């Protein structure tokens, strides 16, 4: 008969060991880094894209291509945030990563502006789904005392990804073209085996979904305590109640600021559009 890990064979306070915790953080960091590159490279190549002699895009068309990505991220974030509470997070995480990385290839090979716009929207669906999954994995497999720090450490990959996109594009976009810069963004496809092997399924989700035996087995392997299933003493609040809570008078401003900051294009995406449209 299987039993949950006891304090005698688990790390102190039943927490995951630091080495395994940082493995999960590193894998999630790579995914967020890839997302940062994807978003940042679009802004970095906009001057070259707008100057393409074949497409001859107007400032409005160039701006629309960037906007489709943000719209996809908004939809993807809402969808993935909901699905991650219903289905396993690990497959969803890998699916989102594969989706936006594959769309980078389609964007790089797009024969028309319409195709690249569609590819960017679909890529946004995957991009938006990465963050809630990575956040859940990072916080669950972090010690309680360092959850916030580890989340910030993991999300720093976004800034590094944007910086890398800017540096690579600055050095090579003129000689290799904007399509090559987009193709580089497909590199997460090479890391999918790493994600599949290194990422565990969140124990809390397994426990809450009734898969206690699987949660126990994984807990023994990772040397952590199995979390107790959440008690459902009543009905879950509907979406109207949730919106009413986050837009209540005490939280309305914070919610608006958080959404605006999270769904805005980075600064690298804005100057080319603005400066071009003012000419």
Dump pLDDT digits (tens) for 121-178.
Answer: 999 999 998 988 888 888 878 877 888 899 999 999 999 999 999 999 999 999 999 9
Task: Round to whole Å and give the CA distance between 45 and 147.
Answer: 36
pLDDT for 270: 44
Top CATH class of 7-277 equals mainly alpha
Tokens of 123: 């890529």
| Average of per-residue pLDDT values in the chain | 78
Cα–Cα dist 67/63, whole Å: 6
Residue-range domain boundaries for the chain: 7-277
Residue 57 has φ and ψ, to the nearest 5°, of -75, 145
What average pLDDT does range 198-212 have in this prediction?
67
pLDDT at position 209: 63
Backbone phi, psi, residue 10, to 5°:
-125, 165
Per-residue exposure over 114-138, b if at least 16 CB sit within 10 Å of its own CB, e if not: eebbbbbbbbbbbbbbbbbbbbbbb
Whole-structure pTM over 0.85, yes or no? no
Q: Which range is least confidently modeled, 18-22, 60-64, 156-160?
A: 18-22
d(CA 37, CA 163): 8
Give the chain's end-to-end CA distance (angstroms, integer): 74
Q: Are 143 and 21 in contact (CB under 8 A)?
A: yes
pLDDT value of residue 164:
96
Percent of the chain whose pLDDT exceeds 90:
34
| The token pair that represents 5 in the structure block | 């890990």
Q: Are 69 and 213 in contact (CB under 8 A)?
A: no
């Amino acid at each position: 008969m299987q039993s949950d890990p006891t304090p005698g064979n688990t790390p102190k306070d039943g927490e995951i060991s630091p080495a395994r915790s940082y493995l999960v953080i590193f894998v999630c960091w790579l995914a967020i880094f890839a997302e940062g590159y994807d978003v940042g490279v679009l802004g970095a190549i906009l001057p070259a894209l707008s100057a393409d002699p074949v497409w001859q895009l107007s400032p409005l068309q160039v701006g629309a291509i960037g906007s489709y990505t943000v719209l996809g991220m908004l939809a993807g974030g809402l969808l993935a945030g909901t699905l991650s509470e219903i289905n396993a997070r690990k497959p969803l995480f890998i699916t989102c990563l594969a989706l936006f990385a594959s769309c980078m290839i389609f964007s790089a090979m797009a024969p028309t502006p319409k195709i690249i716009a569609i590819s960017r929207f679909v890529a946004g669906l995957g991009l938006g789904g990465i963050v809630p999954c990575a956040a859940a994995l990072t916080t669950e497999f972090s010690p309680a005392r360092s959850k916030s720090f580890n989340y910030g450490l993991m999300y720093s990959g976004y800034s590094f990804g944007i910086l890398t996109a800017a540096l690579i594009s600055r050095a090579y976009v003129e000689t290799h073209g904007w399509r090559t810069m987009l193709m580089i963004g497909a590199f997460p496809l090479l890391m999918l085996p790493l994600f599949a092997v290194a990422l565990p399924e969140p124990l809390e989700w397994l426990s809450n979904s009734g898969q206690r035996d699987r949660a126990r087995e994984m807990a023994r392997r990772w040397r952590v305590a199995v979390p107790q299933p959440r008690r459902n003493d009543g009905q879950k609040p509907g979406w109207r109640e949730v919106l009413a809570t986050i837009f209540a008078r005490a939280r309305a401003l914070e919610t608006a600021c958080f959404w605006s900051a999270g769904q805005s294009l980075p600064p690298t995406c804005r100057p080319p559009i603005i400066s071009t449209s003012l000419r």
